Every structure is written in structure tokens, then in C-alpha cells.
Amino acid sequence: MNTYEIVKIFNNNVVLAKRENTEYILIEKGLGFGRKKGDIIENNRFEKVFILEKDINERFKELTKNIESEIVGVCEEVIGLVSKEFEILDREIHIKLVDHIAFAIKRIKENDEIENPFTTEIEALYEKDYEVAKKAVELIEKRLDIEVPEGEIGFIALHINAAKNRQGISETIKCAYICNSITEILEDELKIDINRHSIDYARFVTHIKFAVHRIKNKIPIKNELKSAIKRKYKEAYNIGKLVAKFMENELGEKISEDEITYLAMHIEKLKNKSVY
């Protein structure tokens, strides 16, 4: 039987505890209820156990000393929820996501407007992460009795994606920004309004996501139909070249004719399925 000493109680379900000079976040329904600092917990099974290694623990304590315990507890419950869906997460999530959610809650309570210009792109690009983020927001709303704006779901999804891929959130949001900007280029050039909730749009942004990955990592792609595409879809191909130029500027890499003609195929589909 493992023995833990409570260091701090965040809420009824989340405590910070110590065992053999290592501190842990323990999550279990009712775990903190009726307990206090210094109490001993003897248990081998918890809903979730997170080890706070020294470097993370020092930053975690510095971050959370000015955040209400109840909010920290909810943030850790959210991380517990996320870890059920994605087992391997960057340990930085205990800093970055807690910091983000705490600041978002502060803004909500102060009636600051939270806008996310990339919500549609984030939902299409990171569908699973977005679904988990929706559950996270539902938990936050239930625990804290507040209403969280839809745009915040997208921001939490970005943090989830960054944590599961162990990369900076700037890398994750970059792809959403590129997709949004390309869509605006297409709308301007084609003089149309693209249906951003269509299956074709979801396929398009997914293609852009993988294209960005290929371009950044210099992975070649072959399009055996490129000559036919250039001949048959002249307008889409020319717009594809504009899009490629934008992507080259953003990514600092040259984009091949094969990539451009794949872009043209998707542009042609969007052109024919959009609302004029």
C-alpha cells in the first residue's frame, strides 16, 4: 500500500501529495473532501496520478500560487480527462494548459470577449482534439458555474494537440493560420464564399496540414496527373500558384509543381461546391 502525505488540496477531487520526496497530482472522486494538509492517504489506485518532477514542480508552484485552488483543481481534472484519450502527453501541459485556462477564466469573469479567428480550421484540422476540448469546456462550466465561449474550445484544442505531439503551440496554430489565410485567398480570387463546414473544406484543410508537414520536412510527393490538371483546371492551377507563393513565404521552403497541382484539384472541388 502506497502512502502519500497531502501537501495541498485543490478541490474535492484533486490533491497535491508527497511520497518519498516526490510530489504527485492525485485525482480521484472525493479524494480531497474532508481532508487537510498533512493528512495521510493510503491507496494504490487513483483515477489519475501525475508525477511532478522537480523542474516542472517548481514552475507549477510558482504559477499556481496566485491562482485559486479550485481553478487549479479543475485544470488538473481537465488534464486527467485529456490523458484518458491521449496517454502520452508533454509534461509541460501542467504549466501551459493550467496557465491558459486560468487566464481564460479570469477574462470570462471580467466579461472580456474571447475571439478565436481559427475555430473552424481548428475543428477541421484537429477533430479529435476539438471533441476532447468540448468535453473539457463542459467540465469547466459544470465545476465553476460559468459559460465558456465557443472560441475557447479551439484554444484548448490547440493546447491538447501541442501536448500530445510534444511541440510548441505556435507550431500548431501556424497550420490553422495558414489554412485560414489560404481560404481567404481563394475567396478573394474566386469571388465566392466557401462553406467552411462542408466535407470538401474539411478534406481541403486536411490536405493543407499534410502538405505543410511534407514541405517542412522536405518529403517529396508525385502527381502523375499534373499535366492534365494544369490543362483542364487552368484557373484553379493559377490560384494554386498564388497559394504556393504564400506558403513558400510562410514556411521558407520551395513548393513543387506536384504539390501545386494537388492544391489545384482541391481548389477546383471547393470552387464547384461553394455558395455564390
In this prediction, residue 276 carries a pLDDT of 38
In this prediction, residue 275 carries a pLDDT of 43
In this prediction, residue 200 carries a pLDDT of 87
**What is the location of CATH 2.30.24.10 in the chain?**
1-52
Using a pLDDT cut of 90, give the percent of the chain over it: 88
At CB < 8 A and 24+ separation, what contacts does 60-68 make? 60/94, 60/95, 60/98, 63/95, 63/98, 63/99, 64/98, 67/98, 67/102
Mean pLDDT within 48-74: 96
Domain at 1-52: CATH architecture: Roll (2.30)
In this prediction, residue 87 carries a pLDDT of 83
Mean pLDDT within 251-255: 96
**pLDDT tens-digit map of 176-200:** 999 999 999 999 999 999 988 888 8
Question: Per CATH, which fold does 55-167 belong to?
Answer: PTS-regulatory domain, PRD (1.10.1790)
In this prediction, residue 274 carries a pLDDT of 54
**What is the location of CATH 1.10.1790.10 in the chain?**
55-167, 181-273
Query: What class, spelled out in words, does domain 181-273 have in CATH?
Result: mainly alpha
Q: What predicted TM-score, i.e. pTM, was given to this entire model?
A: 0.89
Mean pLDDT within 44-50: 91
CA 46 – CA 229 distance, rounded (Å): 57
